[in-house]
Amino acid sequence: MTTMTEAPIRADAVLATGKPAAGVPIIQVDHLTKKFEDFTAVNDISFEVKEGEIFGFLGPNGAGKSTTIKTLCTLLQPSGGHIRVGGFDVQDDPDTVRSMIGIVFQDNSLDSDLTAQENMEFHCMVYHIPRAERAERIKRLLDLMELTEFKDRRVKTFSGGMRRRLEIARGLLHEPRLLVLDEPTVGLDPQTRNYIWQYVRDLRQVHHTAIFMTTHYMDEAENCDRIAIIDKGQIVALDTPAELKKMVGDDQIELTTRDNARVVQVIAEKYQVPVEEREGHVVIQVPSAESFAPKLLAELPTLTGGVTIETLHIRRPTLEDVFLKLTGRTIREEEGAKDQRKLNLRRLGRI
């Protein structure tokens, strides 16, 4: 398998070349295109990632996420356009770019026959981390990922979540300005996914590390400061999760009463908001359900002559709704099947 560590990399390459200018985004992608013969995997995309930002690529399998990651990390050459990391072009200064990036691949890239400690020490050698600093860095990162007590165990005995945490720790050894996570929690159980995300948020908070990640999990994407939705090689939307969800519409309140027709009439006249009866429910569209619902609960019996609300449910727009609106479909069902296959393989210790 091709990895970033096939050739030695100087951890001090950025200092030798000169630090990037202040204010330069950590990632600048300008009109990136990547073709494989007649197939265009990435089609003329542009975006920036700021220092200390958690930036997400959201899209289904085959959308172009991993191809963009590999091009960003110098594993693939672009067919057109440019990528700069910290101001350095990935084609002109690949070693400098690599020295600024820590990466966690979609599939396991650890040596399963080595211990956690040995995997970390090997990575230190590859990145020419000074010998005097290696022990302290390894200890600090294994502590961060709660792996210190397992440092002398072979990786083949680790669970999927432990391997992921070790890969993140390894990717941070050379103190990169940018951590790249390619589908970091695919095949992990929900509890482990939550743990991984807690570590990622702590990294950004404590070390101001920029995170560039790909995912097809809608709940994971909510953790990002900004999201680029990519489909069929093109970015179809890019904004914060909150702003993206505004594209879909307002909050929705669904309630039931013993006289839905009367309630619909009163709400339309009194509050001047969109309301209708749908499949036995009164459905109301409002900008903020949290502020509207308490007022409605307090006032409705008086306005309707005693009609009370029997059930009430609030539904807010989701990123799944946004993806459906932009592409005409949901994230494909094959994603769930792929996740289950990977979870089964991790349980068997094969990845």
pLDDT in tens, 149-189: 999 999 999 988 899 889 989 988 988 889 998 888 877 77
Q: How far apart are CA 273 and CA 151, in angstroms?
A: 60
Establish whether domains 13-245 and 250-315 are of one fold. no
For the residues 265-294, what does the mean pLDDT come to? 94
Q: How confident is the model at residue 18 (pLDDT cuts 50, 70, 90)?
A: very low
Would you kindly state where each structural domain of the chain is located, as residue ranges? Answer: 13-245, 250-315
Q: How far apart are CA 189 and CA 210, in angstroms?
A: 25
pLDDT in tens, 121-155: 999 999 899 999 999 999 999 998 889 999 999 99
Identify the pLDDT of residue 281: 95
Cβ–Cβ < 8 Å for 116, 26 = no
Asked if pLDDT for residue 16 goes beyond 60, the answer is: no
250-315 has which CATH code? 3.30.70
Q: How confident is the model at residue 202 (pLDDT cuts 50, 70, 90)?
A: confident
Q: What is the 3-state secondary structure (H, E, C) of 288-307?
A: CHHHHHHHHHHHHHHHHCCC
pLDDT in tens, 69-109: 999 999 999 999 999 999 999 999 999 999 899 888 877 78
CATH 3.40.50.300, domain 13-245, yes or no: yes
Identify the pLDDT of residue 23: 55
Average pLDDT, the chain: 85
Asked if pLDDT for residue 11 goes beyond 50, the answer is: no
pLDDT in tens, 52-74: 899 998 888 788 998 999 999 99
Q: How confident is the model at residue 253 (pLDDT cuts 50, 70, 90)?
A: very high
Asked if pLDDT for residue 351 goes beyond 60, the answer is: no
pTM: 0.75
